[in-house]
Amino acid sequence: MRIALARFDALVGDVPGNSRRMLDRAVELAGGGADCVVFPELSVVGYPPRDLLQREGFVESCERAVVALAADLLSRGAGGVAVLVGASMRASDHGGPLMNVVALLRGGRVEATYAKRLLPDYDVFDEPRHFAAGSAPLVFACGTERVGVVICEDLWRAEDALAAGHSYSIDPVAETVAAGATVIVCPSASPCAAGKHARHTDILRSAARRGGVPICSLNASGADDDLVFDGDARIVFSDSTAISAPRWGNDALLHNFQVRSAAHESTDSAAVPGAEHAERWHTIVAGITGYFRKTGHTHAVLGLSGGIDSALVAALAVAALGADRVTGILMPSRFSSDGSRTDAWELARRLGMRALEIPIEPAHDALASHLTPYFASAGASLEGLADENLQSRLRGMQLMAFSNATGALVLATGNKSEYAVGYSTLYGDMCGALAPIGDLLKTDVWTLARWANAHCAELGLASGVTLGFATAPIPEASITKIPSAELRPDQADQDTLPPYEMLDAIVRGWIEEERSIDAIAAAHMLDRALVERWTRAIDMAQYKRAQAPVIIRLSARAFGLGRRMPIVMRDVR
């Protein structure tokens, strides 16, 4: 049997478009000699479809598309090939519960379907809300093999999600092997998260060894809203050797099971130094690329402060979209240092992006003068925090005005540490469509910036087209300077916040690890009162995060749909 694991980037909801592209790809691969073509989980509807599944007629359109796709494959000469597509379908022609299925298309018809048996309901997943679980394995003959099908969680069984706290009583892979499978295929739509790829490697190796059969794993590609998929395509054999296609690529992984190559790579190979930084970089770039392409936008705009956060976001945006499609706007005030302006202009020069300077001082003066008497009549004063936030909101207003005038989407430049404790301004620096580093702690921002500078020639588009910066993209001064919002004289972040090494330890422990105050304090030798103060700040800032732009997910516990916290609450500590 010659199998093709077809990398595929579905657009959520675009059933006709997804079906047409899969038809063309399957016909192409069949013409190249494939006996079996595999597409990712829910490839017909895109992942995750969420409540689109509840919209009247949506599921029926998916079911009709699957039937039509089978007929179209036959009419275009690929009817003899087994094509596996992911779809949402009812349990029977007469209705019944909705299921997350893989449909086997062959001979011009839907020959069989397999319904996903393990439905995750943790983190960003909520599949039991929409789907009923399947109950039986599927094994079909194809060439020299008997192919068993499982879907995503059926293989991972929550073992790839460290914070899930889930376990399952059944093992679909073992049951599929017991049903006679000699090869298992596992189409997935598993979003990227720190460390998950390495855990997938271990799980695949263990499952192949335990079952004594090769396992063909195919992940979805591209990005949908906050979720990014790496297109990982691998075949792991029972002796723990493997073949794989480069992550983030578009080409199909092809293999003939009748020809065992001596070139299989070992899954025990040591991790490449800096792989976690490359993974973060590619995940964010793919997230930006996917969001812009799928929303139909082509240009981005962001504020350039001369600081590290906006510098890193600008570099990522240029890598994703190209320098000619990114505009940076410097918005100095009376408190902005000459060094900040110089660093922002130097960044734009290094990246080759367009930049312009629109000072906020005239608008700040005018609005402050206008508001002051009205506030005074109400017994209030436009000083301190109110004036600082006024400056931030003026910058946000200028960015949004530029967006409205040009169609460029605004990229927010806030990081996870700031979003965690509310060190950010609603309708100011939090405005925008997408927050590329909103799931990146401040200390990790510095680390990724240094890594990007050290590997500048290697950095390229998520599509695989090498961009490569001519020089280190981020000015050294932006990395080494003391962080400051520059909203008052001689301001520094650490006037308000603890050192970022301490703050990030608290944020990581409270958000990503769900640890107690005492456990965080003990693990990092921090004062308990300090930890209590800043964990309380994290909880109190939930109302801001509920209004934040879409945050590209990088960690196992990101702000957004994967962390559904109440806005108004009282935590018993």
Residues 26 and 37: their CA atoms lie apart, in Å, by 6
Amino acid at 441: L
Q: Is 145 among the catalytic positions?
A: no
In the numeric block, which tokens belong to residue 239?
A: 């002796």
On whether the CB atoms of residues 218 and 188 are closer than 8 A, the answer is yes
Residues 89 and 114: their CA atoms lie apart, in Å, by 10
Catalytic pick among 36, 142, 152, 186: 152
Catalytic pick among 36, 41, 196, 442: 41
Residues 260 and 30: their CA atoms lie apart, in Å, by 21
145-149 and 36-38 beta bridge pairing: unpaired
95-106 and 109-115 beta bridge pairing: antiparallel
Phi-psi label, residue 194: left if phi above 0, alpha if psi -120 to 50, beta otherwise: beta
Phi/psi of residue 155, nearest 5 degrees? -90, -45
Q: Is 56 among the catalytic positions?
A: no
On whether the CB atoms of residues 419 and 537 are closer than 8 A, the answer is no
Residues 332 and 500: their CA atoms lie apart, in Å, by 25
Phi/psi of residue 225, nearest 5 degrees? 55, -115
Compute CA distances 219 → 7, 144, 249, whole Å: 7, 25, 11
Phi/psi of residue 546, nearest 5 degrees? -65, -15
User: For residue 278, how many C-alpha atoms fall within 13 Å in the half-sphere facing its CB?
Assistant: 16
On whether the CB atoms of residues 153 and 121 are closer than 8 A, the answer is no
In the numeric block, which tokens belong to residue 486?
A: 């520059």
How buried is residue 569: exposed, middle or buried, by Cβ count under 10 Å (0-12/13-18/19+)? exposed
Catalytic pick among 36, 62, 63, 116: 116
524-531 long-range contacts (CB < 8 A, ≥24 apart) are: 526/502, 530/498, 530/502, 530/506, 531/506
Q: Is 116 among the catalytic positions?
A: yes
Q: Quick one: which H or E segment has residue 217?
A: strand 215-219
Catalytic residue numbers, as ranges: 41, 116, 152
